[in-house]
């Protein structure tokens, strides 16, 4: 599998964005096509990290972007100690 990037979260776990997931993100949420650094920044410096109500292995990373007056939410699934980006999109509120 090809990685677009790999970063470490605040707890030292690696998070990957695969080429396949990147294609999904820019197809479904084209506004993010040139925002790969914002996705990385959200993972590295989140305002809030929430847990999925449906999957205990999924975390939601949020960061507010003033220029859009929206939060960028990056969904990450952790398997075997490593995180994999599922999707990312802008939202007006944090789901808690």
> CA separation (Å) from 56 to 5, 51, 60?
24, 7, 11
Task: State residue 89's pLDDT score.
Answer: 97
Dihedral sign for Cα 95, 12, 24, 39, please. Answer: positive
Averaged pLDDT score across all residues of the chain: 95
8-state DSSP, 10:
T
Burial status of residue 96 (CB atoms within 10 A of its CB: 0-12, 13-18, 19 or more): exposed
**0.85 exceeded by pTM:** yes
- 35-73, pLDDT tens digit by residue? 999 999 999 999 999 999 999 999 999 999 999 999 999
Contact between residue 81 and residue 13 where contact means Cβ atoms under 8 Å apart? yes
């Amino acid at each position: 599998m090809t990685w677009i990037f790999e970063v470490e979260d605040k707890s030292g776990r690696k998070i990957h964005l695969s080429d396949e997931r990147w294609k999904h993100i820019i197809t479904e949420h084209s506004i993010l096509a040139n925002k790969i650094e914002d996705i990385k920044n959200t993972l590295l410096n989140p305002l809030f990290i929430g847990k999925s109500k449906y999957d205990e292995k999924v975390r939601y990373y949020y960061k507010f972007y003033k220029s859009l007056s929206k939060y960028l939410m990056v969904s990450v699934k952790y398997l075997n100690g490593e995180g994999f980006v599922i999707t990312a999109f802008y939202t007006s509120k944090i789901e808690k």
